[in-house]
Amino acid sequence: MKVVDHLKNNDKTLFSFEILPPLKGKDINLIYEVIDPLMEFEPKYLNITYHREEVVYKRHKSGLLERKTVHKRPGTVAIAAAVKYKYQKVNVVPHIICGGFSREETENALIDLHFLGIRNLLVLRGDPLQADKVFIPEENGHANAIDLINQIQCLNKGYYLDEELQNTTKMDFSLGVAGYPEKHIESPNIDTDLFYLKKKIEAGADYIVTQLFFDNKKYFDFVDRCRKVGINVPIVPGIKPISIKNHLNILPSTFNIDIPEELAKEVRKCKTNDDARQVGVEWAIMQSKELIERKAPAVHYYTMGKADNIYNIAKAVF
């Protein structure tokens, strides 16, 4: 079933979450350990993030630096298959990104996912490589999420890159995209960001999942602004509980978000990361309760590969 149909056809707010592929060399059971306890809250779908290659520099004895690219986490196709067939009631939503992929590589990944019976994708551009500062598309790749949406929509009509192909199978993907209540970091202002967000919806995206935020007012304002410019698809709030003291400094610069002083004050008082994790859980419970009360279509949790805090939040609100 399509995620968008779940979002539109449910009276109550749904519980959803995303998992990270384990680091290279680790076992698929790490993923099951995150999913298993969260099944109690009957997720209709779950997302699998994609992590592009990273650039690392290795210093040789001669003093020369060697530039290498490494994939620290494997791709999502095999994980999506494993999860789909283990948790058959749950729709799997792999993230698919522009960064690091040519159009051909993207098409091949989409063919694999479609063969596996996967029909939902979250379509993203991906961040710039750390070494690059600005996003550089792959040769013959895509510069923005909308270009990737357009490629998928062509496949949904049966148009593959090889124009000679005949009687092709039409793909049947439903697409979600990212939205930013506090604007995307590269965007000059929120109106420009919304202009491009609307383009993604017009290109065929069915729903939006937001960047994390700690102040629900930012989400409600964002939904209002979207509606005013004619973006009428479901908008799913994304929640990430603070889980270490250092998040106070890391999260704002990484995600271009504010942390309200009331929350920052509580985290500053914490002596240990365990204390901060508890503060994060309590804040996320408060956020979730209000989002559910005000009928958000789902609340989507960023697990960062650990289930315990998300379990405690979900137990209190779902």
Query: Which chain residues interact with ligand FAD by CB under 6 A?
Result: 49-50, 52, 95, 97, 124-127, 144-146, 178, 184, 186-187, 192-193, 196, 200, 209, 211, 238
| Cβ closest to ligand FAD, residue 200 vs residue 245 | 200
| Cβ closest to ligand FAD, residue 17 vs residue 50 | 50
CB 258 within 8 A of CB 252: yes
> Whole-number minimum distance, CB 133 to ligand FAD, in Å?
12
User: What residue has token string 């610069």?
Assistant: 253
| Cβ closest to ligand FAD, residue 73 vs residue 245 | 73
Give the span between the Cα atoms of 44 and 16, in whole angstroms: 7
| Cβ closest to ligand FAD, residue 193 vs residue 266 | 193
Give the span between the Cα atoms of 273 and 254, in whole angstroms: 19
Give the span between the Cα atoms of 270 and 275, in whole angstroms: 5
> Whole-number minimum distance, CB 248 to ligand FAD, in Å?
20
> Whole-number minimum distance, CB 125 to ligand FAD, in Å?
3
Q: What are phi and psi of 41, to 5 degrees?
A: -95, 15
Q: What are phi and psi of 43, to 5 degrees?
A: -65, 140
Give the span between the Cα atoms of 245 and 271, in whole angstroms: 9
For 125, what's the count of Cα atoms within 13 Å in the CB-facing half-sphere? 20
SS3 label, residue 219: helix
> Whole-number minimum distance, CB 91 to ligand FAD, in Å?
16
| Cβ closest to ligand FAD, residue 211 vs residue 216 | 211
- Residue of 90, 87, 98, 111 whose CA lies nearest to 28: 87
| Cβ closest to ligand FAD, residue 95 vs residue 245 | 95
Give the span between the Cα atoms of 64 and 159, in whole angstroms: 47
> Whole-number minimum distance, CB 93 to ligand FAD, in Å?
10
> Whole-number minimum distance, CB 301 to ligand FAD, in Å?
11
